[in-house]
Chains A and B, each alone.
Chain A
């Protein structure tokens, strides 16, 4: 057995193991220490049944074994998991993490480049590994996230990253995981009296229907023309005529046109979702729907197209004033029933939508009918599968990255504490600026 061979290997190689610190110092990703065994914990592999009094063996950052009574070398560092639970680290399937620090301070935002078509821009380029959002999010058990440029028709390439690492190179799991596109919407005024109500995404304010329709037609035409010119470019590039000059933008479209890279399409309402499916058919694209709040209306078509969905936060107001109050809470259960693969993205790194609350978004769906194990899947393996790394992360299975969390309870409950996060087998620093401020001021003399 491969597993047994590797255990033997650990025994012989154990002399070189570095001792992992309980937590790193001053935010530093822990050095070494990416081999250990967690013993006596309740293990939730997600890929299979829960294991009481189970073990997880990690070797060089990868999972070597998950089960009961696993044989492990005596000198392998043992982490006592008694009374604790082990889950795979959670994955936020759509965020702007690392790209925005303070949403209202323009200088701290790198999400939106000028120009409607930016397929050549890559999110990972602008991820700040020192962003305070990263340790704060990790604190609640989220170990990776998809981060994305946003705001234009084609905003750029989204990047799947680990939420730990010294550099963007170390953090990147899949730097070019997909192309973020926004489906044009006919954005008309809505009857919402709430003072902070926005117009439909991408909308041009409170314009008339005629004007909105004109904008929509214009954007659709531009979008089609852009894809067509990319297709012509692809043919030209293949032919390599004399004087051929490469074009960064159009070059970046080739993997998309070849169906090798998915297009993440923001499509909120029924009309945009249907348009996105039709667009995918027409342009022969592999797509993922994002923030498809009315996906519940279009389940049949989405299923027929076999398109996965990254939902926005469940803890959102219904789109329409006369929608049921729990409309956003029940959508995950509706998609499950229709057999659609879905995960959850917290979208903007802002306020209540913060990535650290990803597990609570999933929990809200549980309160309103989604089976608990499906909610866990939505924030782990489903996200990994949607982003094409289902063989690398998302469950506790042999050969995958050891992205795991040690908790004192159900990670979907707000009252649960994540005791330790491991990213690629390394124990992450569980401190952050917020925790430092807490420890400083709780000790301020009275």
Chain B
């Protein structure tokens, strides 16, 4: 029995993915040509337009004060409402059924792509909070962690169909407390950690692990280059062994895989910049980067982005100098900055997190909204497709009932590639139906339990309690 089956069985006889999928299918079956009229359109990159936006063929086809509705278009009155691009979360772990390959310090051979669950309810909840694209990362237990992947929140599709086509692959690095935890005696016995110590146990050791790995990657790259050169000349040579761990690092050296580095303190941020400079690769984003404001200059000079929290702090020692002004300082000092979630709950209100930077640091509304739209799109190198409302870009669009930076606003509708994936009215309308379905399923399950071969009798716990060994 695999983990998923086990959990579903234990949870309740009710197959929730089945229930939620129904809603998704109906939401996704809408008309592909949509015209939203009379709305306030926050394009992010080209100011605010009072007027209409046309979604057609999966793309944004027109934005303007007046746009004529093509035949067959679904027309939505957006009077008093706001339209903005879909939110992009540069750091999430939803869908992932495993997070850390924690047994080794360098786990670049593994990829989060292999453990994605397209039925994670977190996807739908993120959609309802306006997220249309998310960077799904490996955990932070390793100095060099596993491969990452960019996904669109196409709820109801399979994992393959949710991949952001053409988005560059990435890899997770991690510095500081997390990767050294497994090296510390206190970590023995923690989930994911081996019972013995695992190198490294200090920030110095973290640097060493990364340098050693890239030494190996450079050697490996040279061996393959030599082989390829000989093979190209027609020489009969035996190919070197393939090393999946080093393959990913060679891609980093070649600029074909983006590095997303989990970090907190300024010293470790500088360390990684130096390591990257020495080995000739770039850090694409520093993640969390709660002390980024202390080394904004160096981060900007390296050309790295920063993807942080609006105001998380105090949950660990290395988060003690976190300040809610971090994002604003980074922006003002020229760092490409985004706000991310790293959490299935925070992911649902990244718009409201962006609003905090207006207070903490005085960012403009556009600068604030850029932190969760165009900036993360640039960090993930998908800004030619998403992150702003521009003609020709993917129709990943949100409709709000009030200004997205107001705490009193909420997302009403979400389109991805011009398809509706979330509709609040529809969600509410389906609730009664889903409740009835659930009741029917519980009744059926409870009837099955009472039948021949069941555990039977009035002493049987109620149907919502788990029955070990039953695996329907």
| Residues of A near any B CB (own CB < 8 A) | 101-105, 132-133, 188-196, 208-209, 213, 315-318, 321-322, 324-326, 349-352, 354, 356-357, 360, 363-364, 366-368, 372, 412-417, 434-435, 437-438, 441-442, 444, 446
Contact = CB atoms under 8 A, between A and B. Distances in A.
B406 interface: yes
Contact of B352 (A322, A414, A442, A444): A414
B184 interface: no
A131 to B, nearest CB: 10
A71 B307 CA distance: 53
A354 B139 CA distance: 24
Given A104-B315, A193-B117, A441 B468 contact: no
A325 B427 contact: yes
A322 B437 CA distance: 12
B316 A208 contact: no
A190 B11 contact: yes
B293 A189 contact: no
Interface string B320-356: 1111110001001100000000011110110010011
25 contacts: A102-B319, A191-B16, A193-B97, A193-B117, A195-B139, A196-B343, A208-B468, A213-B461, A321-B11, A321-B16, A322-B434, A325-B125, A352-B312, A352-B346, A354-B311, A363-B408, A367-B408, A372-B408, A413-B407, A414-B407, A437-B293, A438-B361, A441-B294, A442-B329, A446-B333
Top 6 closest pairs, chain A to chain B, by CB: A191-B11, A363-B407, A414-B355, A438-B325, A434-B323, A415-B358
Contacts of A132: 314
A188 B466 contact: yes
A322 B19 contact: yes
Interface string B69-105: 0000000000000000000000001101111000000
A192 B345 CA distance: 13
B448 to A, nearest CB: 18
B251 interface: no
Given A324-B428, A360-B407, 18 more contacts: A102-B316, A191-B10, A193-B117, A195-B139, A196-B344, A208-B468, A209-B465, A315-B345, A317-B125, A321-B121, A322-B20, A350-B315, A351-B312, A352-B312, A363-B407, A434-B325, A441-B329, A444-B296
Contacts of B294: 441, 444
A196 to B, nearest CB: 8
A416 B325 contact: no
A188 B464 CA distance: 10
A103 B313 CA distance: 10
B269 interface: no
B206 to A, nearest CB: 18
Contacts of B120: 193-194
B315 A415 contact: no
Contacts of B467: 209
B431 interface: yes
B359 interface: yes
B124 interface: yes
Residue in A364, A413, A415 with the greatest tally of chain B CB atoms within 10 Å: A415
Residue in B11, B361, B428 with the greatest tally of chain A CB atoms within 10 Å: B11
A210 B80 CA distance: 55
